[in-house]
Structure 1
Amino acid sequence: MLTASSLPNRVSRSLPTVRLAGRPIMVGGVPRWLGFAGAVMLALGGTTAGALPYQQAADRAGMVGVGLVVAYAGLALLVVAWWRLGAENPAARSMQITLGLWAAPLVVAPPLFSRDVYSYLAQGRMFAQGMDVYLYGPSSLGGPLAAEVPGIWQHTPAPYGPLFLAVAAVVTTLTGTHVIAGVFGMRLVAVAGVALMAFAVPVLARRLGVSPGAALWLGVLNPLVLTHLVAGAHNDALMLGLLGAGLAVMVSRRPGAVWPMLGVALVTLAALVKAPAALALPFCALLWAQRAQRTPAERERWPIMAFLRTAPLTVLVAAAAAIVVHALAGTGVGWILALDTPTVVHNWMSMSTTAGALTAQLLDAIGSGVAHHAVPFWRGVGLAAAVGCGLLVWVRARVLGPVYAVGLGLLAVVLLGPVVHPWYLLWGVLLVAAGAPHAVDSPVRRWVALGSSLLAVLVVPTGGPTSAVDVAVGLTGGAVVLVAAGAVLLWWLPRREPAVERAESFYRKPRVPAETAA
C-alpha cells in the first residue's frame, strides 16, 4: 500500500541520478529539480521583465506584468528549494553540481535585478580607449554602450579597481560595442568568480572544522549569488572568488613561504577589483603567523612574535602586487578618490542613510537650517561604528578565528555603510559560511540565511523604475507559488538528520567526545 511516509522514497527512486565516471554523485530529488524549475522560470520572466537594453524594454513594455509574475514565481521556487535542500545538508560535491544546474538557465538569461553590467561595459570601453574613468563618467564615451547606463551614473567616475577595469576592457575589446555580446562576456567573468567561490569555500570549511556542504549551501548556493552575481553579473563575484581563493591558500597545510605570499597576493587582487576585500589583509598576516603554530596548545596562544614578522611581509607582498597591477593597467590611484561614487544614491536599506533622511525631515519640519548635514552626519556615525566593529573582531580573532572574523567585519561594513544593496551582504556571508562554528545550527547562520531570503525579493527584476501595479501583481503571484511550494514540500518530504562533514579546525581546538574526554 502506498502511504504518505513511503511516497518520498518512491519519488526519489523514480527521479534520475547524475553520474560522473560511472559513480553516482547526485541523487535526483524534489528540492533540486524544483530549484532548477525556479531558475528556468526566473530566466524566462527576465525576457520581458529583466534589466533589458532600453529599446528591448520599450518593445516589451506590455508584457512586464506577465514577466514579473513568472520571475517572482521562479524566485519563490528557488528560495523554497534552497531552504529544503539545506535541511538535507548533502555532500559538498552534490552542492557544487546543484549550483551548476541552478546557474545554467541564468547564464543565458538577460541581465536581472540591476543595470550595473551596462556601466561595466561602458567603463571597460573607456579604459580600453585610454580615457580616464576615474575623472569622467560614461557620458564622455557616448555610443551604444553608454546609452544603456542609467542617468544617475552617466557623469560619475568608476569606483572599481584597475584589475576589474582591465578585465572589462578585455571584454569590450573582444565584443566591441555589441551590447548583448558584452553582457554575456561580463557574465562569464562573474561565473568564473562564482566558480572560484565554489572551489574555495569547501577548502576553507574543511580546514576550519565546518561542514563543506553546509558552507556551500549558505555561501555559494545562496539565492543572492544566483540572482545577483550570476543573473546580475556583478563584479562582486570576481572580488569574492579571489578573496576566497586567497584565504583558502592562507589556511593550507603546504609548507614554505610561497603559499602565504600567494594568498596575500590573491587577496590584494580581490581588493583591486573592489576595495572592501582589503579588510582581509590584516587577518592574512595573522593567518600567516598561525601557520607556525603546529600543536593545539600553540594555537591557544596569540602569535604575537610571529605576527610582528608576518605583518611587514604582508604589507610588502600586498604593495608589490598592487604596484604591478597598477603599472600593467597604466593607472594611478584615482580610483581610491572615487570610492564614494555609490553614495550618490540615497538607499533606504542603509541604516545610517535612512537615519539621516529621517533626521533631515524632522529638522526641516521644525525649520532648522542644518537639515542638509543630517545624512552626512549619520553616515559618518555609521562608518565610525563599522571601524569599531572591525577593531572588535580583530581583538576577538583568536576566539572567532581569522576567517570568521573577516566575515563578521565585512557584514558590519555592509550593514553600517552609507549604501546597501542586497548583493553586498555576500561580502560577509561567504566567509561566515566557511568559518562560523556549529555549521548547521548556528543562530548566526540561521539569521544570515533568513536575511538572504528576504533580500532576494527586495529588488525588482527590471533593475529600475517599474509600475507599482506590475510589482504588486508579480509579488502576489510569487507569494502564491511560495506558499503552495512550501506547503507541498513540508508535507511531502520528511526532514532528514543532517549528515555533517567536519574536519580538523585550523584555529579552533578540536572537540573531544564526551566518552573519551576522561
Structure 2
Amino acid sequence: MRVRGSMRALVSDARAAFAVPAVWLGLFGSVLIVVGSFTPASLPPDSELPYFIGLGLLQTGVGRAVAAAAVLLGMASLLLAWVAMRPGRHGVRGGVPRATWWLWSLPMLVAPPLFSRDAYSYAAQGLLVSRGMDPYSTGPISVPGPFADQVDPMWLFTSAPYGPLALRTQQLVVELSFDNAYFAAVAMRVPAFMSMALIAALLPRMTERVGVSVEPARWIGIANPLILIHLVGGAHNDAMAIALIVAAMLLAFDGRFWFSSFTIAAAAGYKQTALLAMVALAGYLARRAVVARRIREISDGTPSCEERAAIEANRHEPTGPVRGAPHDPGTPGMVEYIRVAAAVGTASIGLFALITFVCGLGWGWVESLSVPLMARSILSPSTVVGSIGQIIMLGLGSSAETAQIPLDTARACGMAIMAIGLIWTTLWLAPRRPTLSVVTAFVIFVACGSVVHAWYMIPVFVLLGLVPFSERTYTVAMWVIAVLGVYAAFDSALGNGSITIAVTLVAALVLRMRARGVLPLPANLRARLAGQHRHAHIEQSQKVG
C-alpha cells in the first residue's frame, strides 16, 4: 500500500510539474545536454556506444561542434527555466514543483559522466578495492584494461583521496555492474540519485525546524541546475556527503546527539570536508541545552504549555544582522557551548575512526589529500593569484624552483585565512547562528582553498535556503550559479575543440538572459551604461545638426 501510495504521489507531482512551462523548458535542456555528451570528450576512448544508439555523427569534427552547441543550449535552457521559477519577483504561482528535480535528472541517468571524468576514477578505485588492493597506495594504473583506459591520464598514477565509505560504495557498484567498466562508471549515479532524493525529502523538513519558507530552499537547494548536473550528472561523492549533512543537522536540531554525530561521521566517510558541518551540530545542541535548562529552572518545575512554547521558541536562531543584535535568550554561554562543541567533535571523530576501522581500508587517505593539488584550479583565488606571480617570475628569468614560491606563498596565505575564519565561525558565529555558521564555513573553505571545483560549492547552495537571506543575496547566488553552469558547458565545448562556437553561444546566452530580464545588471553598471548611451546620443545629434 505504501509503495502504491508513493507511486500515486509521484504521478501527481509529475502532473503538477508538467503544468508549468518552465519545467518543460528545463527538461528540454536536460535532454540536449545528454545528447551532446555522447562525444569522445565524455566517453571512454574508442567507445562504440554512440554508433549503436544512432549518434555516430557526433564523433566527427562537425558532429562534435554540434554536440558542443547542444550542451551550451541545453545549459541555457536549464538556467532560464530555473531562473523563471525563482520565488518572489520572478517566481511561478505555487512555487517550484516538487517533481522538478527528478524530472530534470532522469535524462542524465543514461548519459556518460557529465562535466567531469571523476566517475571513471571511482569505477577504477572500486575495482582496486574489489581485487583486494590498497587504493591509498596505488592508482588505477594497477588495474590495466577498460577500467584504467577510461580514467583521466592525470589521475592514472595517483592514489584515492576519498573516505573509506566512498571507496566501499564504489566497490559495491563495481561488483553489481559485473565488472563492466563503462556501466560501473554510469552506475555511480545510483547512490548520487538516491542522495538527491534524500536531500529533497529532508531539506523541506529542515526549513520547518529553522522556521523559514520552503520555497527558496526548494528552488536553490534542490531544483538548482548546478546541483543536478554535478551531483546526478557527474555522480560525485559529494552527493551522499551533503545528504548526510542535512540529515545530521535535522537530528541535531531535534536533540539526537549520538545519531547526529554518527551521521556526520558517515558523511565524512564519503567526503572528509563534511566535518565542517559540526559547527551547526554544536550550535543546535548547545541551544537546545539552554532551552532544557531554562525549563528546569522554572520554580515549580511544571511549566505551562504557553511557558514551554515560549522557551522552546528560543531554539530558533534569530534573524537580522549578527553584529549589534539584541541579546538572544537562546544563545549559550561560551563555556557551555565549548563543552557541547568538544563533545560533538570527540564523538564525531571517534565514530569516524570506528567507521574507518570497520571499512578496513586504513588511514591512507591522509597522505593522499595532496593529490587534488596536482590540478591548477582557476576557481581558486589563492591559486590564481599565486599562478600569476609564478608566470611573472618565470618571465623575469627565475628558475622553476624560485618561481614556485609565489604559488606556495599564496596557497599558504589562503590556508591561514581559512583557519582563522573557521575558528571565528566555530567559536563566535555557531552559538549565535548555527545554520548560518555551516553556510559560512563552506564559503570560507571554498574561497580560501587551494583547489576548487564547481561541485565544492554545492553544500553552500543546498544549505543557503535554510537562512533568511535578502533578495540581493539570492540574486548574487543566482549569478554565481549561472556563471558556473556556463563555465561547465564552456569547458565541455573546449573538450570537443569547439572554442569558437562556445564563445558565440555564451555571448548569445548572456544577451538572451538580459533581454528577458532574468539576469539584471547591477544598478551602478546599468546607470553608467545608460549615461554612456545618452552621451553618445547627444554627440550624434550634434553631428547631425
TM-score (normalizing by structure 1): 0.83
Within 5 Å, give how 1:155-234 maps onto structure 2.
Answer: 155-234=157-236
Instruction: Tell whether 2:314 aligns with 1:311.
Output: no
Within 5 Å, give how 1:394-409 maps onto structure 2.
Answer: 394-397=426-429, 401-409=433-441
Correspondent of 2:500 among 469, 472, 475 = 472
Cα displacement (A) at 1:448: 1.6
Alignment-mate amino acid for residue 393 of structure 1? T
Q: In 2, Cα distance between the equivalents of 1:116 and 1:486?
A: 34
Give yes or no for contact 1:50–1:461 (8 Å, CA) kept in 2.
no
Alignment-mate amino acid for residue 88 of structure 1? G
Aligned to 1:329: 359
Alignment-mate amino acid for residue 450 of structure 2? P
Aligned to 1:458: 487
Cα displacement (A) at 1:313: 3.1
Within 5 Å, give how 1:38-57 maps onto structure 2.
Answer: 38-48=29-39, 51-56=42-47
Cα displacement (A) at 1:382: 0.7
User: CA 1:68 to 1:368, structure 2 compared with 1: closer, same or farther past 3 Å?
Assistant: closer
- How many residues end up aligned between the 2 structures? 464
Aligned to 1:133: 135
Q: Classify the secondary structure of the residue corresponding to 1:96.
A: coil
Give yes or no for contact 1:286–1:307 (8 Å, CA) kept in 2.
yes
User: CA 1:236 to 1:19, structure 2 compared with 1: closer, same or farther past 3 Å?
Assistant: closer
- Whose radius of gyration is greater, 1 or 2? 2
Q: Classify the secondary structure of the residue corresponding to 1:200.
A: helix
Aligned to 2:530: none
Give yes or no for contact 2:139–2:158 (8 Å, CA) kept in 1.
yes
Instruction: Tell whether 2:405 aligns with 1:373.
Output: yes
Alignment-mate amino acid for residue 19 of structure 2? G
Q: Classify the secondary structure of the residue corresponding to 1:47.
A: coil
Aligned to 1:6: none
Superposed CA offset, 1:227-278 (max 9, x none) = 11111111111111111111122123xxxx6x22211211111111111111
Superposed CA offset, 1:340-395 (max 9, x none) = 11100112221111111111122223344521222111111111111122123234
Superposed CA offset, 1:111-141 (max 9, x none) = 2111110000001110121111111111112
Correspondent of 2:274 among 277, 296, 317 = 277
Give yes or no for contact 1:160–1:275 (8 Å, CA) kept in 2.
yes
The two structures, once aligned, show a CA RMSD in angstroms of 2.8
Q: In 2, Cα distance between the equivalents of 1:156 and 1:19?
A: 43
Q: In 2, Cα distance between the equivalents of 1:23 and 1:110?
A: 25
User: CA 1:214 to 1:240, structure 2 compared with 1: closer, same or farther past 3 Å?
Assistant: same
Q: In 1, Cα distance between the equivalents of 2:33 and 2:118?
A: 19
Q: In 2, Cα distance between the equivalents of 1:346 and 1:464?
A: 19
Unaligned residue ranges in structure 1 (runs of 5+):
1-17, 491-518
Give yes or no for contact 1:134–1:158 (8 Å, CA) kept in 2.
yes
Give yes or no for contact 1:260–1:288 (8 Å, CA) kept in 2.
yes
Give yes or no for contact 2:71–2:489 (8 Å, CA) kept in 1.
no
Alignment-mate amino acid for residue 123 of structure 1? Q
Superposed CA offset, 1:197-254 (max 9, x none) = 21222222222222211112112211211211111111111111111111122123xx
Alignment-mate amino acid for residue 370 of structure 2? D
Q: Classify the secondary structure of the residue corresponding to 1:41.
A: helix
Correspondent of 2:264 among 255, 264, 267 = 267
Alignment-mate amino acid for residue 292 of structure 1? A
Q: In 1, Cα distance between the equivalents of 2:116 and 2:423?
A: 33
Q: In 1, Cα distance between the equivalents of 2:339 and 2:398?
A: 54
User: CA 1:457 to 1:71, structure 2 compared with 1: closer, same or farther past 3 Å?
Assistant: same
Q: In 2, Cα distance between the equivalents of 1:55 and 1:314?
A: 50
Aligned to 1:411: 443
Give yes or no for contact 1:89–1:214 (8 Å, CA) kept in 2.
no
User: CA 1:227 to 1:313, structure 2 compared with 1: closer, same or farther past 3 Å?
Assistant: same
Aligned to 1:88: 91
Runs of 4+ in 1 over 6 A off after TM superposition: 21-24
Cα displacement (A) at 1:103: 0.9
Unaligned residue ranges in structure 2 (runs of 5+):
1-8, 51-55, 292-310, 315-326, 519-545
Superposed CA offset, 1:10-34 (max 9, x none) = xxxxxxxx98669985471221211
User: CA 1:203 to 1:377, structure 2 compared with 1: closer, same or farther past 3 Å?
Assistant: same
User: CA 1:433 to 1:22, structure 2 compared with 1: closer, same or farther past 3 Å?
Assistant: closer
Superposed CA offset, 1:434-492 (max 9, x none) = 2x224xx4433221221011011112477596354x132145346546655774687xx
Aligned to 2:74: 74
Give yes or no for contact 1:54–1:148 (8 Å, CA) kept in 2.
yes
Give yes or no for contact 2:261–2:348 (8 Å, CA) kept in 1.
yes
Aligned to 1:508: none
Q: In 2, Cα distance between the equivalents of 1:282 and 1:487?
A: 42
Q: Which has the higher contact order (CA 8 A, sep 6+)?
A: 1
Q: In 2, Cα distance between the equivalents of 1:411 and 1:400?
A: 18
Q: Classify the secondary structure of the residue corresponding to 1:134.
A: coil
Alignment-mate amino acid for residue 473 of structure 2? V
Give yes or no for contact 2:68–2:496 (8 Å, CA) kept in 1.
no
Alignment-mate amino acid for residue 471 of structure 1? I
Aligned to 2:107: 105
Aligned to 2:244: 242
Aligned to 2:305: none
Q: In 1, Cα distance between the equivalents of 2:381 and 2:268?
A: 25
Q: In 1, Cα distance between the equivalents of 2:290 and 2:24?
A: 45
Give yes or no for contact 1:383–1:416 (8 Å, CA) kept in 2.
yes
Cα displacement (A) at 1:280: 1.5
Q: In 1, Cα distance between the equivalents of 2:345 and 2:331?
A: 23
Correspondent of 2:119 among 117, 120, 144 = 117
Give yes or no for contact 1:411–1:428 (8 Å, CA) kept in 2.
yes
Aligned to 1:505: none
User: CA 1:78 to 1:318, structure 2 compared with 1: closer, same or farther past 3 Å?
Assistant: same
User: CA 1:211 to 1:360, structure 2 compared with 1: closer, same or farther past 3 Å?
Assistant: same
TM-score (normalizing by structure 2): 0.79
Give yes or no for contact 1:49–1:67 (8 Å, CA) kept in 2.
no
Give yes or no for contact 1:163–1:329 (8 Å, CA) kept in 2.
yes
Give yes or no for contact 1:216–1:433 (8 Å, CA) kept in 2.
yes
Alignment-mate amino acid for residue 91 of structure 2? E
Cα displacement (A) at 1:181: 1.8
